[in-house]
Amino acid sequence: MKSKSEKNINWVLSLTGAILILTLITCSNADAQLQINDHIHIGIIDPISNHGDRAALDTNNFSLNILTGVSAVETGVSIAGIANVIRYGAKGLQIAGVANLIGQNANGTMLAGFINTYGNGNGLAMAGFANIANKNSGIQLAGFVNKSNDVSSQFAGFINVAKKVRGVQIAGFINIADSSDYAIAIINLIKNGEKAISADIDETQTTMLLFRSGGKVLYGIIGLGYNLSNKKALYVFECGLGAHLLGSRAFRFNAELASSHLQNLTRDDYFKGSLRLLPALRIAPHFEIFGGPSLNYVSTRSDEGRALTAKYSAIWKYASGDRVQDLHVGYRVGVQLIF
Q: Is the pLDDT of residue 303 over 90?
A: no
The answer to whether the beta carbons of residues 285 and 336 sit under 8 Å apart is no
Of 140, 168, 190, the one marking the end of a domain is 190
Which of 20-29, 105-114, 324-333 shows the lowest mean pLDDT across its residues?
20-29
Q: 218 and 70, same structural domain?
A: no
Q: 137 and 206, same structural domain?
A: no
Which of 46-55, 94-103, 251-260 shows the lowest mean pLDDT across its residues?
46-55
Which residues pair with residue 252 across a beta bridge? Answer: 247, 280
Q: 204 and 179, same structural domain?
A: no
Cα–Cα distance between 83 and 116 in angstroms, integer? Answer: 10
> Could you report the per-residue pLDDT of 261-288, keeping only the tens digit for each?
988 756 667 899 999 999 999 999 999 9
Q: 42 and 174, same structural domain?
A: yes
60: nearest Cα among 80, 35, 86: 86
Q: 139 and 18, same structural domain?
A: yes
Which residues pair with residue 131 across a beta bridge? Answer: 116, 146
pTM of the predicted model as reported, rounded to 2 decimal places: 0.84
Q: 250 and 102, same structural domain?
A: no
* Residue 191: other Cβ atoms inside 10 A: 11
Is 76 in a helix, a strand, or coil?
Answer: strand
How many Å from the N-terminal Cα to the C-terminal Cα in the chain?
79
Q: 108 and 47, same structural domain?
A: yes
Cα–Cα distance between 179 and 157 in angstroms, integer? Answer: 20
Residue 181 is which amino acid?
D
Confidence label for 230 from pLDDT (cuts 50, 70 and 90): confident
> Could you report the per-residue pLDDT of 4-13, keeping only the tens digit for each?
556 555 655 5
Of 165, 190, 215, the one marking the end of a domain is 190
The answer to whether the beta carbons of residues 293 and 276 sit under 8 Å apart is yes
Cα–Cα distance between 64 and 54 in angstroms, integer? Answer: 16
* Confidence at residue 306, expressed as pLDDT on a 0 to 100 scale: 84
Of 160, 190, 220, the one marking the end of a domain is 190
> Could you report the per-residue pLDDT of 165-194, keeping only the tens digit for each?
999 999 999 999 999 999 999 999 999 999
Mean pLDDT on 203-222: 96
DSSP readout, 82-150?
A: SEEEESS-EEEEEEESSEEEESS-EEEEEEESSEEE-SEEEEEEEESSEEE-SEEEEEEEESSEEEEEE
* Confidence at residue 299, expressed as pLDDT on a 0 to 100 scale: 95
Q: 199 and 183, same structural domain?
A: no
Q: Is the pLDDT of residue 75 over 60?
A: yes
* Confidence at residue 32, expressed as pLDDT on a 0 to 100 scale: 39
Q: 108 and 164, same structural domain?
A: yes
Cα–Cα distance between 214 and 189 in angstroms, integer? Answer: 6
194: nearest Cα among 171, 220, 168: 220
Cα–Cα distance between 208 and 174 in angstroms, integer? Answer: 21
Domain count, the chain: 2
Higher pLDDT, residue 104 or 305: 104
219: nearest Cα among 191, 186, 250: 186
Q: 254 and 175, same structural domain?
A: no
DSSP readout, 41-73?
A: EEEEETTEETTGGGGGG-EEEEEEEEEEEEESE
Bond into 279 cis (ω within 30): no
* Confidence at residue 262, expressed as pLDDT on a 0 to 100 scale: 87
Q: 131 and 24, same structural domain?
A: yes
Q: 159 and 230, same structural domain?
A: no
Residue 220 is which amino acid?
G
* Confidence at residue 18, expressed as pLDDT on a 0 to 100 scale: 54
* Confidence at residue 199, expressed as pLDDT on a 0 to 100 scale: 98
CATH, residue 269: 2.40.160.20
Domain limits for position 134: 4-190
The answer to whether the beta carbons of residues 65 and 58 sit under 8 Å apart is no
